[in-house]
Structure 1
């Protein structure tokens, strides 16, 4: 009986095969036939065809995911202060994760000194520096339809959140609209699944072209990117999360990690926040002793809007791609990345690989080429396992902190 190869295995195999193919073709890259038909036609078609498919699904995925996510936060009104504290925790830690990623990315410099972008750099432009007030004002869409048509991600995010909140307030009067938007969200996720089916071919084309053009030197920044993301994820988990847990929640971080470790392993192995949701709920209620009224709110909400691990990946990946293409990001660009990644985390689906799709909107917002996704796509499954583990750990830390702030007595033994 034949065992069906998983998509993850196919993508990794495509990465390895792409590296081998590219290195084999590299010595012959100046041959007119090889250059014109193999590199510029076959590799280029496979890689950029995949990139165009990603761009096709980004906007509907962002819009529907955010609307449905915001519309589903009905318990915020019921829980009052618990809802406000939870939202503040999730959004602030996500912003901290992005800032940490940007600082760490500039220290590690995963793409620095490697001129992979010399061919394309002349075609790359990033937004000119703008006053901070203009960045904030530009988040408010004058014409939402125009924002959707032009792919203005920050405006789309703000509009989608407002629509979702309005639907939540209107309640039963908009059940038909909610159902329609939920169906649109399901359709967008299915489109992502379909696009991901061609991911191995896209990764093969992009990686083959990269290594065929630049040779073995291309593997160095790829390894630095992976190492950089993992190191920053663990710093965020062990310092940011455990620091908040100890100082604000007054709970022993070592005890927390020991108790929550089995659920972390579920998230790590599945690379899916949604798959780890049942385990997270059970662990919070039975192992930690958090009440159902709190854990049943904070964990599912965090599963929807708290994607710190994904935000870290997006921050480091953006710096990586910018450095690869020789583009200097301004302070305004960094502010845009922080805002976009923080708000984008609300709409990141809790399924494997969704984060790399959402990366496309961050790159679009700062004007970086989406072709850079091809470099990170090949190893994204391995990064995804680590960032998913961090995502669900953040949900659990928030739950414990909120529980303690509400005077609940947690299990200490």
Structure 2
């Protein structure tokens, strides 16, 4: 996967230079042909082969195919095996506190970095050459609480965006099966067998198809962005990339060290492939299978604990998304002429924390939910809309790194909670 990532980055940069050369030489038709053959999004288009698009989308679709059944079966079975309801309560409490602690730390770090960038004048960029785009309508972040309990079970199982509802249904199902014990045999056996089938399917998709898919996904992502989009966004992209990388490499290592007294280096080394996978797919949901395998088999977290924490974290633990939204909101406010104060940054942080909880685990969702934060702050003048349009135009590479941060945060919390509950194999961790 690391080789595929490096190859994809190299190929993507070469295609960027090729694009700029051909467009500069007046050979737009040549680039258009290359784009139609390799990179064209064939949705709604009757032209083009879109070879790289098709290969990448097939891989993502294969992973998303099993998200709902995997989350449901793994959590339901975990609930069946946790016989101590007090233990379940403790795990839930510690998980939420772990998510909250890392989120607050991430938001504070992003706020400080964004404020420094604003004061240094880094965010004072010209955005007049960007075409305005209509943003999504604001959405009350508290709706995520209401949607956690579905009013239609079929609707919950047929939409990948309803993961929190699936978590609720799985917990209820598992607890009921545990309560009725021997009276429920067939359903439990079906869950076990379905979970085994999912494991085999995911193992094949990730190990056999994964490296090829990562290469084409990375190559296409970088190839479709021209220099004309990247130049005005260097201030935003640079600051948010620095923030995400520092927190990814150092922040979680400090969290592991302080909370568990474990050497964080084995965690950083073993979780690297999960971060790479998240970076390639730009989807926390698609990365969940590999994250689960790595957390259980290599980091030593008990499978029952991992099966509860990781799907829940995929839904509500969005540290990377929160960091991106804070810095993006400060960038937009600064570019659009709004006053940026410490008090306003704290408000942005609170809105970003709430909004990130309701962010779907899918590519591009963070930039869309960002509009909720902007609406809450009142950043809606013409210049703010233009700056928001700029972020929508170039945010995919940033969202890739955001996903890495999100999935690594879930694994870090799983290690911390498992260690505190005695559900942790230290020998496997250091192996």
- Superposed counterparts of 1:237-248, under 5 Å: 237-248=248-259
Relative distance call for 1:227 and 1:79 in structure 2 (3 A) is: same
Q: What SS does the aligned partner of 1:378 have?
A: helix
TM-superposition CA deviations, 1:114-141 (whole Å, max 9, x none) = 363799xxxxxxxxxxxxxxxxxxxxxx
Q: Does residue 370 of the first structure (1) align with residue 385 of the second (2)?
A: yes
1:345 aligns with 2:360: no
- The residue aligned with 1:287 is 298
Match of 2:344 among 330, 333, 336: 333
Corresponding position: 1:177 with 2:160: no
**Equivalent residue pairs, number:** 287
How do residues 137-286 of structure 1 correspond to structure 2 at under 5 angstroms? 153=139, 156-158=140-142, 160-164=143-147, 167=149, 176-180=151-155, 219=231, 222-286=233-297
Alignment partners' CA distance in 2, 1:252 and 1:401: 12
Q: Distance in 2 between matches of 1:309 and 1:113?
A: 20
Greater mean alpha carbon deviation, residues 330-339 or residues 350-359: 330-339
Aligned-pair distance for 1:310? 1.0
Distance in 1 of aligned mates of 2:387 and 2:121: 11
Q: In the superposition, relative to structure 1, how do residues 378 and 161 fare at CA in structure 2: closer, same or farther (>3 Å)?
A: closer
Distance 1:297-1:111 versus aligned 2 partners, 3 A rule: farther
- Over residues 243-273 of structure 1, what are the superposed CA-to-partner deviations in whole Å (9 max), with x where a residue is unaligned? 1101111221111111112222111111111
Alpha-carbon contact 1:116-1:325 (below 8 Å) kept:
no
Paired with 1:259 and 1:115, the residues of 2 have a C-alpha distance of: 39
Deviation of the 1:91 alpha carbon:
2.4
Mapped partners of 2:144, 2:372: distance in 1: 16
Q: 2:332 aligns with which of 321, 328, 331?
A: 321
Q: Evaluate the alpha carbon distance shift between residue 186 and residue 349 of structure 1 in structure 2; reply closer, same or farther with a 3 A threshold.
A: closer
Rounded Cα–Cα distance in structure 2 between residues aligned with 1:276 and 1:184: 17
How far residue 186 of structure 1 moved from its aligned partner, in angstroms, is: 5.4
2:405 — aligned with what?
390
Q: 1:61 corresponds to which residue?
A: none
| Separation of aligned partners in 2, 1:185 and 1:256 | 29
1:405 to 411, 420, 424: 420
Whether contact under 8 Å (1:233, 1:387) holds in the other structure is yes
Q: Counterpart of 2:152 in 1: which secondary structure?
A: helix
> 1:89 offset after TM fit, Å?
1.2
Output the CA distance in 2 between the equivalents of 1:89 and 1:359. 24
What does residue 90 of structure 2 align with? 81
- Structure-2 change in CA distance of 1:162 and 1:406 (3 Å): same
Quote the residue 1:90 is aligned against: 99
**What is the CA–CA distance in structure 2 between the aligned matches of 1:113 and 1:101, rounded to whole Å?**
14
Instruction: Quickly say closer, same or farther: Cα 1:341–1:404, change in 2 above 3 A.
Output: same
- The TM-score with structure 1 as length reference comes to 0.61
1:152, distance to aligned residue in structure 2 (A): 6.5
**Deviation (angstroms), 1:284:** 1.0
Question: What is the CA–CA distance in structure 2 between the aligned matches of 1:340 and 1:320, rounded to whole Å?
Answer: 16
Q: CA deviation at 1:323?
A: 1.0
Deviation sequence 1:70-115 (CA, Å, 0-9, x none):
xx99969772110111111112312221221111011123864736
- Unaligned 5+ residue runs, structure 1? 1-8, 22-67, 120-150, 168-173, 188-202, 212-217
- Per the alignment, residue 308 of structure 1 pairs with 319
| Paired residues of 2:144 and 2:357 also in contact (CA < 8 A) | no
After alignment, is 108-117 or 328-337 more displaced?
108-117
Q: Please name the residue that 2:53 is paired with.
A: none
User: How far off is 1:183 after superposition?
Assistant: 5.9
Measure, in 2, the Cα distance between the counterparts of 1:111 and 1:266.
35
Report which stretch shifted further, 273-282 or 178-187. 178-187
Matched, 1:100 2:109: yes
